[in-house]
Structure 1
Amino acid sequence: MSSLQIAPKISMEERVQRLETLRNTMAEKNIGAVLIGSTESLRYFTGLVWHSSERLLGAVITATDLVYIVPGFERSRVETLPHVPGDIKVWEEDESSARLVASLLPQGMPLAVDDAVPLFVYHALSRDISAERLIDGGPILRGQRLRKSPAEISIIQYAMNLTLEVQRKAHAMIRPGIAASEVVRFIDEEHRRLGASNGSTFCIVSFGETTSLPHGADGEQYYQPGDVVLVDTGCRIDGYHSDITRTYMLDAPTKDFARIWAIEREAQQAVFDAAHIGATCGSLDNAARDVLLNHGLGPDYRLPGLPHRAGHGLGLEGHEEPYIVRGNSVALEEGMCFSNEPMIVLPGQFGLRLEDIVHMTASGPAWFTMPAKGPTEPFA
């Protein structure tokens, strides 16, 4: 991948259409307004990117208006940032942001509140708007974000391609004695060099027995010949995440590692094969566990086996709906994106996670990145 390639972006026209879709949902559900905080939903609907703090900054969407709720001293900064045009109403330090929100709510109508706002925002609202009029806005906000548009799919694909190239480069630079922190630093630098301006959003590099800890270990590690290597990392492009894990051996694989690698890959493929339009998310998790059970692993979350869900949704958040977990009755629809990572953990020995992201098309599942080829060949 060349750093000179231009990454796709979400247009303001698409954001305006998102707002209209949200308003249609509001009308169907008789919702007077929606309050969005400084969350990923604010970015999704308006393009405004703001980090949450002790002061409410967000937006109120009504049937006809988009109003930004902004601390007075932040107005000039907000005006310089990209956002869908809308009115800006400010509240000063000795005023109540909740009271300002309440003044915009149509008389007697309910307010749907972004489920990602801090609890103090909700409590303040409940003092100025009766609790009976405050409803959970998560289902309508996240429900709309759940199905990615073609533009979103293109951005995620770009981010995934970038991270896959970084994974290739990391694989090529690991050598005896190298510190895990050096690999982490290299991965961050490569993400930046290839076009992810903020570098890695996260990075786990584990060697040997510490690969059995799904989210890595504290302290430094050094690669030694014969170690299992696990690298899990991602970046963001225009707000959208990538996420890829590869687990491999640089030397000839041990018999145990080769056996578990084959089971892991079989389980990952079983999840993919079970993913058809209308299938429940829980059925995909079941497909992975059935494979492990057939090989004497598990059952359930017992070790050796799979200690966590088989996957998570991915988009503006690294972990979001739909969750590929037992009992989740959400049915797969076109545009849904989720990780496929039924990790196998052998306590005291090693862990093995192969993670690629899947998106649902009208005709079924599609890989953003092709799965690993073999226990010493992490790339297709």
Structure 2
Amino acid sequence: MFEALAVIPVEELALRHERCRRLLRELNPQAGGLLVFSRPQVYYLTGTLGMGCVWLPLEGEPLLLLRKGLDRAALEAPSIRCAGYRSYKDLPGLAAEAGVAFPEVVAVDQGGLTWQLGELLAARLPAQRFVSGDLALAIAQSLKSEWELEVMRLCGERHHLALYDILPKLIRPGMSEREIAHLAWSVFFELGHQGILRMTAFGEECFLGHVSAGDSGNYPSSFNGPLGLRGEHPAAPVMGYAGQLWRPGSPLALDIGFQLEGYHTDKTQAYWAGKAGSIPAEVAAAHGFCVDVQAWLAENLKPGALVGELYAHCADWAVRAGFGEGFMGLGENKVPFLGHGIGLAIDGWPAIAKGFDRPVEKGQVFALEPKHGIPGLGMVGVENTFEVTDSGAVCITGDRYDMVCVE
């Protein structure tokens, strides 16, 4: 009686399965397969956001094991074998019945389970020894297929249209952060944003993103990003505060994500409340430096590059150029990275930071976000989403990086 809204092509799923297996053999050679619990990761491997897990053996077909959602899975993941279960202790028997028995060592996405559930899994499956399969899964998801890239390119195109072309015609100085946030949502929804932003870091939440007018850009933040914000309330530090107005002669930063078919792009657009040409020299210089850093990163994000080295170069460059104090945040807001992978989650692997030294590969997608905090004024800078090609990274969220002046 029902039809699926969309189905991931069988060939696409097979490509993902083999990529995970290849990385598992490299990174977890003792493991005989990957057991995945996080719903977005289950979707990545099957095409359905099932409540349960998916078992991907090194040899044999994957098996989707669900507590709930069997009928929906039959619609959305018709090529994936599926069975229901009630307790973790049922999993080995179901896998054996399907001809893909659990080996002694099983890799699991530990980030997809709470400590409580992880201990419960280990208690219910005493014959198995569990190791972390998180890195293999993260690297696999960082390598986008052409099918995924097509979705992300469309997402990025609409993202730029919303923030650069449409929204400046609707906002004006004197509006509150909340009013601007609501207008941004309206524009995004009209362009097809599907209403959810996902993050993988434990405890992190994101709803629309940051709307920071004036000194809100440097407001103390507990979010792992350089842009401060007051937010709606201490219990909901997201979007923008109704009591903070965007005043003439001050910046406005909108760091908000777009999402289509589960895939995200990230973009920060900076605006200036005033006539064209009224941006103070200090502000223009700081913003221009961030644009230059973004351009250098894009040029050097080529296959084989090491993102840890790229980060170190830019951090040193900021100090030498006189922007060291506010680069990537002021005070406790300063963060030790310049960007991050992105895809089914905003905060994808890897970060452009010290310690991430696996060579960059073609098809990876990064959000590059050089920003600069100016004491007493706010934050300027850019963020855009880039696709890695053989000759460098290409922006998929527009080709204009200037501050937009709004009177």
Coarse TM-score class (shorter-chain normalised): 0.7 to 0.9
| 2:56 paired residue number | 61
How far 1:239 moved relative to its partner?
0.8
| 1:307 paired residue number | 334
TM-score, L = length of structure 2: 0.80
| 1:129 paired residue number | 125
CA distance in 2, matches of 1:132, 1:90: 21
How far 1:177 moved relative to its partner?
2.0
* Aligned amino acid, residue 307 of structure 1: K
Q: Is the 8 A contact 1:9 1:155 kept in 2?
A: no
- SS for the counterpart of 1:242 is strand
| 1:288 paired residue number | 314
Q: More deviation in 196-205 or 20-29?
A: 20-29
**Aligned residue runs from structure 1 range 97-116, under 5 A:** 98-103=88-93, 104=95, 106=101, 108-116=103-111
1:50-72 superposed Cα distances (whole Å, 9 cap, x missing partner): 4xxxxx6121122223222222x
1:72-124 superposed Cα distances (whole Å, 9 cap, x missing partner): x54344444x11433332223xxx2x212233263653111123321233212
- 2:77 pairs, out of 83, 89, 102, with 83
**Aligned residue runs from structure 1 range 210-359, under 5 A:** 210-213=216-219, 214-218=227-231, 219-220=241-242, 221-251=244-274, 252-298=278-324, 303=330, 307-308=334-335, 309-359=337-387
How far 1:240 moved relative to its partner?
0.5
Q: Is the 8 A contact 2:270 2:402 kept in 1?
A: no
CA distance in 1, matches of 2:282, 2:171: 22
- SS for the counterpart of 1:332 is coil
Q: More deviation in 304-313 or 349-358?
A: 304-313
CA distance in 2, matches of 1:294, 1:159: 36
- 1:161 pairs, out of 144, 157, 162, with 157
- 1:197 pairs, out of 185, 194, 198, with 194
Q: More deviation in 294-303 or 99-108?
A: 294-303
* 2:145 matches 1:149: yes
CA distance in 2, matches of 1:206, 1:25: 40
Q: More deviation in 234-243 or 250-259?
A: 250-259
- SS for the counterpart of 2:215 is helix
Q: Is the 8 A contact 1:246 1:372 kept in 2?
A: no
CA distance in 1, matches of 2:299, 2:314: 10
Change (3 A) 1:306 1:224: closer
1:194-237 superposed Cα distances (whole Å, 9 cap, x missing partner): 12232775232221111224142133222221121111112211
TM-score, L = length of structure 1: 0.85
Q: Is the 8 A contact 2:329 2:372 kept in 1?
A: no
1:14-73 superposed Cα distances (whole Å, 9 cap, x missing partner): 1133224434555673533321113322111110124xxxxx6121122223222222x5
CA distance in 2, matches of 1:363, 1:122: 43
CA distance in 1, matches of 2:211, 2:250: 12
CA distance in 2, matches of 1:226, 1:46: 51
**Taking CA–CA contacts closer than 8 Å with sequence separation of 6 or more, which of the two structures ends up with the larger relative contact order?**
2
CA distance in 2, matches of 1:16, 1:100: 26
CA distance in 2, matches of 1:310, 1:13: 34
Unaligned regions of 5+ residues in structure 2, if any? 1-5, 198-206, 220-226, 232-240
CA distance in 1, matches of 2:373, 2:295: 18
Unaligned regions of 5+ residues in structure 1, if any? 1-7, 51-55
- 2:391 pairs, out of 342, 360, 363, with 363
Aligned-pair RMSD on alpha carbons? Answer: 2.8
- SS for the counterpart of 2:367 is strand
| 1:53 paired residue number | none
* 2:43 matches 1:22: no
How far 1:364 moved relative to its partner?
2.2
CA distance in 1, matches of 2:23, 2:215: 50
Q: Is the 8 A contact 1:15 1:84 kept in 2?
A: no
How far 1:377 moved relative to its partner?
6.1
